[in-house]
Amino acid sequence: MSRAKTYSLSARDIQKSWHVIDADGQTLGRLSTRVASLLMGKHKPTYSPHLDMGDFVIVVNAQKVRVTGKKLDDKIYYRHTGYMGGLKETPLGDMLQRQPRRVIELSVRGMLPRNRLARHLLRHLKVYAGPDHPHEAQVNARPGPVSRRTKPRPRPQASAEAAAPQPSATKPRARPYLEMFTRPLHQNKLRLPFDAAELAGNFDVHAKVAGGGVSAWADAIAHGIARALVSYDEKLRPAMRKAGLLTRDSRIKERKKPGLKRARKAPQYTKR
């Protein structure tokens, strides 16, 4: 008597595709369930819940997603700063104006399992507020197997000399500052160095920021513009300092106090 063997999908047999979904006019919940199903691979007959066999999903026009009822005012997003009394509340309507991509990411994350695989699947979700996306090459390519590294990645070697920058084959997509910084507070902060120097409209600024949030980006770019203007013309230093753009970074370690090992470190007393 012959016994049929159960088919088990192997990692080398996984084929991944790219899907583009337009969120214009779609309901948030219906859209999120469809995206979560594509990320997990439930639309494939070889679905295996323990494997990363889902596809890549690109969501465009995230700021035009639709919700029913009074969810724009009633649905609240909570976050905590970590300090006492630091609970922050953001309605869905404000979140769609400030960070529309975050709305869809949080909705899809709530529909995935709570495990390590789900956190990995979220990296395959690309959400954009407008109708454009930089993944045309991947969308038009034929589906293929997932590439696996056969050799371990070499560890970086520490060197005393700074290595020369290598030309990159692909450059990150440049975004205008009005698209990155939607709040007037951040836009005014970026224009402050030029307004203080009375040089508005005379320079083009190209900045690259990483880490932190939008407020930290605005502070860092404004500080960099102020320092660049001072390097361009030393006579602009008083105007930059008066505008508060050349202040010392509070994170720099303070000068050592007499009798202390370092700044703000009290001496240790023995317990005996």
Does residue 127 form part of some domain? Answer: yes
Q: Verify that 59 and 133 share a domain, yes or no.
A: yes
Q: Verify that 135 and 207 share a domain, yes or no.
A: no
Q: Verify that 126 and 199 share a domain, yes or no.
A: no
| Spatial separation of the C-alpha atoms in residues 203 and 125, rounded to whole Å | 36
User: Residue 141 has which token pair?
Assistant: 């390519």
Q: Verify that 19 and 134 share a domain, yes or no.
A: yes
**Tens digit of each residue's pLDDT (9 = 90 or more) over 57-76:** 999 999 999 999 999 999 99
Q: Verify that 122 and 189 share a domain, yes or no.
A: no
Q: Verify that 134 and 219 share a domain, yes or no.
A: no
Does residue 191 form part of some domain? Answer: yes
Q: Is the pLDDT of residue 258 over 60?
A: no
Percentage of the chain beyond pLDDT 70 is 79
pLDDT at position 263, please?
A: 55
Candidates 54, 40, 64; CA nearest to 113 is 40
pLDDT at position 162, please?
A: 41
Q: Is the pLDDT of residue 214 over 60?
A: yes
Name the domain count of the chain: 2
pLDDT at position 207, please?
A: 84
Does residue 259 form part of some domain? Answer: no
CB-based contacts of 87, cutoff 8 Å, min separation 6: 78, 79, 80
CB-based contacts of 36, cutoff 8 Å, min separation 6: 108, 111, 112
CB-based contacts of 60, cutoff 8 Å, min separation 6: 20, 21, 22, 23, 128, 130, 131, 132, 133
Domain carrying residue 233 = 177-242
**Tens digit of each residue's pLDDT (9 = 90 or more) over 134-180:** 999 999 887 767 655 545 555 544 444 444 455 545 555 677 878 87
Does residue 255 form part of some domain? Answer: no
Percentage of the chain beyond pLDDT 90 is 45
HSE on the CB side for 137, CA within 13 Å? 2
pLDDT at position 141, please?
A: 85
Q: How confident is the model at residue 125 (pLDDT cuts 50, 70, 90)?
A: very high
Does residue 154 form part of some domain? Answer: no
Mean pLDDT of all residues belonging to the chain: 83
- Give a three-class secondary structure readout of 54-75: CCEEEEECHHHCECCCCHHHHC
pLDDT at position 153, please?
A: 57
Q: Verify that 126 and 194 share a domain, yes or no.
A: no
pTM confidence score:
0.53
Q: Is the pLDDT of residue 262 over 90?
A: no
pLDDT at position 160, please?
A: 43
Does residue 51 form part of some domain? Answer: yes
Average pLDDT of span 79-86 = 94
Does residue 150 form part of some domain? Answer: no
User: Residue 253 has which token pair?
Assistant: 């370690």
Give me the CATH number covering residue 128: 3.90.1180.10
Does residue 7 form part of some domain? Answer: no
pLDDT at position 31, please?
A: 96
Rounded to 5 degrees, φ, ψ at 18 are -120, 135
Q: Is the pLDDT of residue 250 over 60?
A: no
